[in-house]
Every structure is written in C-alpha cells, then in structure tokens.
Chain A
C-alpha cells in the first residue's frame, strides 16, 4: 500500500518520502502530479470545487438551523414511513443509503475489471451501478412527492422552522441532480466499454481522441464522490 501506482507514463521520477517529496513534485517543471493523467487530475480538481459547493449548502443549512428561534422539524419523524402497520423512523433514507453504497461497490468492481480489460463484466457492472443510481433518484422523487403533498414548501412547512423546506430541497435536489448526471454518463461510458472502444482505440465522437480504460476509473471517482456527499448529507441533514 505504500507504493503509488503509476497510471500515466512519461517522466515519473522516483518519489521522495513525505513533505520533501511534495515540495519536489510541486517545485518541479511543467507538472506537479507526476503519475496522474490530466483526465484524472482534472476530475479530482472538479470534485474539489464540488466539495466547496456542497460545503456551502451544508453550511447555510447549519446557519439557518442554529440561528432560528423556531424548533427545527424532527427529521426522524418527517421521513418516517408506515410499512405493514409498523411506524419505522427514517426507513426510506436508510434504504436509499444502502442502495447508493451498493452502487459504489459495483462501481469499484467495474473499475477493477476495466483495468483487467474484462469488457463484458465492466460494462455489466457499470449498468448495474446506473440502475442502482436510477433507483436512488426514483426513491428521492417519491420522497419529494410525499413531502410536497404534506405541505412542505421552501418557505413553510407544517412542523416548525420554515427554513427546513429550503434547505431540504436545495441540498437533496442538488445531490439528486449529481446522481442523475452520473447515471447518464455511466450509461454512455458503459456503452463504449461494451462496444470495445477502448480495446480497439476507437476515436471518440466529440473529441476525436482515443479513449482508455482509465475513463472507467475517472467515472468511478465521480460516482464515489456522489456517494461521499450522501454520507455527509445523511449525517448532517437526516440524522442530526
């Protein structure tokens, strides 16, 4: 685990340990990320900027919740469902969490099989990931519908602080949008994998450049990030 994996060729000098290595990489000519392709580095930087966006949403939610004098609605009861006569708190959100984590697992396996150049398994696992993601979005649509029917609006709700609706729709809506785009891109890349584009170095439709199986890992980074954001939303919005 100590050794870094080389994902991009070219000059990749040996790594010095610790801060000396970081300083050496950053102060060297031309590129700071020695063994990471531009595609992967750009995805990481995009995810970093996305982290700040979601941080701002969660922070505004925190500010609203801390500064209101009206009691905050209890999410445990707001998101409870009655299934088979049993009143179970937060059950829908728990199921959504498990669905999203499962999709992260299948995505990780897809990345692994992609680098083993197992075309069929990679494509199938990516499609399973997309299906789980679509299930998640569907459940979120159900949740939104239920809450809107119960009278939750961005400016009011029947249970307490009016900011609850605004925070809820903004945070889960933005996250759901991310999941939706992820599903679309998963299907697009699964199609390329299935067709064998990366085995025959077929040129892309938009870019006219040859793709590699690394795109599966880059797609995976995005997908795991969506799961990661949900971990924080689940903890701060639903459980707190």
Chain B
C-alpha cells in the first residue's frame, strides 16, 4: 500500500489563507487511480474497433441468430471494457464491485417475466385483433 493518500487539510486550517503560495507546493494528497496512459489508449482503440464491428453487422445486413449473437457479443465486450478500465472497476475492492454489478444482473429476471408477458399479449392480439374478418 504505497499509494496511501494523506489528507492534510484537517490539520492545516491555515492552508486556505495562503492559497496562492500553496500552488507551488505539491500537496501530498490523493494519488488515486494511477494507471499508464497507454492502457487507456489501447482500450480506446478496442472500443473503436468493436463499434466498427457492430456497425458492420448492420452494414452487411447479417440476419437471424448470427446477427443477434454478434450484436450481443460486441455490446458486452464494449460494456465490459468501459466498466472495468474507464470506470476503474477492475481495481476496486470486491465489496463495491459486487454491490454495483450484481443488482443489474437481476434485471434479467424482469426481462424473462416481460418476455412471457409480451408473448402472451402477442398471442391474444393475433387471436382476437389481427384475424381477417
């Protein structure tokens, strides 16, 4: 733990009065999330490539399960890169990671419920509204 941040302001109420002198002195707080720039550039590049790929899925007019699986694959890869690297989730403690990432997974239950519901609605509509009279 070399990068322990040290907040000084609690002990230094006079800091504010010497505000302009303090610019030169590098305050010793907040090292925070320090990662090499190259990592961000690489992830950025990948996001461009993945976006281009998902656009090409539409451009070439792929259809059916191939289209849907490719869209979902590129979507999940992009979302994963953004959350893990850009939002620094890869370096957070697990207590936060699970608290934030698990609840959205439960949305899938909601998805399943609504899939059943809309299938039922669709069936009813086909039976009663869309029949040629």
Contact = CB atoms under 8 A, between A and B. Distances in A.
The judgment on whether A and B are partners is: yes
Interface of A: 1, 3-9, 12, 15, 18-19, 21-22, 25-26, 32-36, 41, 44-45, 47-48, 51-52, 55, 59, 62-64, 66-69, 76, 89-90, 94, 97-98, 101-102, 104-105, 107-109, 111-112, 115-117, 196, 199-203, 210, 212-214, 217, 220-221, 224-225, 227-228, 231-232, 234-235, 238-240
B100 A235 contact: no
Q: Interface SS of chain B: helix, strand, loop or mixed? A: helix
Interface string B1-40: 1011111010000011001101100110111111101001
Chain B CB within 10 Å, residue with most, of A6, A36, A107: A6
Contacts of A47: 100
Interface of B: 1, 3-7, 9, 15-16, 19-20, 22-23, 26-27, 29-35, 37, 40-41, 43-44, 47-48, 51, 54-55, 57-59, 61, 67-68, 71-72, 74-75, 78-79, 82-83, 85-88, 90-96, 98-100, 103-104, 107, 110-111, 114-115, 117-119, 121-122, 125-126, 129-130
B51 A101 contact: yes
B96 A220 contact: no
A143 to B, nearest CB: 16
A21 B43 CA distance: 29
Contacts of A8: 5
8 contacts: A6-B5, A7-B30, A21-B94, A35-B93, A55-B107, A108-B40, A108-B85, A112-B37
Given A33-B96, A201-B15, A67 B121 contact: yes
Contact of B93 (A21, A62, A89, A111): A21
B94 A210 contact: no
Contact of B111 (A19, A62, A210): A62
B91 A3 contact: yes
A3 to B, nearest CB: 7
Contact of A48 (B33, B86, B95, B100): B100
Contact of A5 (B33, B44, B59): B33
Contacts of B98: 22
Contact of B40 (A1, A90, A109, A228): A109
A126 B98 CA distance: 29
A214 B30 contact: yes
B37 A111 contact: no
A15 B96 contact: no
Contact of A199 (B27, B54, B67, B82): B27
